[in-house]
Structure 1
Amino acid sequence: MQAEIYKGYSIWGHAILQQMDILEPERYAASGTITQHTKVIETSGILGSFETEEDARQAGLAWARAWVDSHG
């Protein structure tokens, strides 16, 4: 999980390991969360599947920034 402050909101990018079988390569599902003053404002659901944990977290953060920009 990676967090940052963006335009007064705390935004979070999540990477969720999605390995179905030990022989398959690791994949990470991405999601994002937006909070303000400890209250959850919005969550994304699954945004897609990524090869790296970092790519998944960055996708979640990008979604959260876009949500804040479109609702601010």
Structure 2
Amino acid sequence: MQVDEYKGYLLYGHSIEQPTGYAASGTVMRDGRVVESSGILEIFAVDEEALAAGLAWAREWVDGHA
């Protein structure tokens, strides 16, 4: 899991190991509560790519909703 603070939100990028690679997902939190989560975004061959994709999704969500 990778964490970033962005515009007052805590963003989490997740990488979930799968038989075919790493599933990316993202979570947006504010004031200790989950605001939104992505579900599985895509499968990547590399763990770090999945983490980055999850964080990118979370930043885009904040930009579109905050």
Aligned residues: 66
TM-score between the two structures when normalised by the length of structure 1: 0.89
Q: Report the identity percentage.
A: 55
- Structure 1 vs Structure 2 CA RMSD: 0.7
Gaps of 5+ in 2: none
Higher strand share: 2
Instruction: Output the amino acid matched with 1:44.
Output: S
TM-score between the two structures when normalised by the length of structure 2: 0.97
> 1:27-60: CA deviations, max 9, x gaps?
0000000000110000000000001110000000
Gaps of 5+ in 1: 20-25
Task: Determine if the alignment matches structure 1 residue 28 to structure 2 residue 22.
Answer: yes
- Which has the higher Rg, Structure 1 or Structure 2? 1
Show structure 1 runs of 4+ deviating over 2 A: none
Q: In the alignment, what sits opposite 1:11?
A: 11
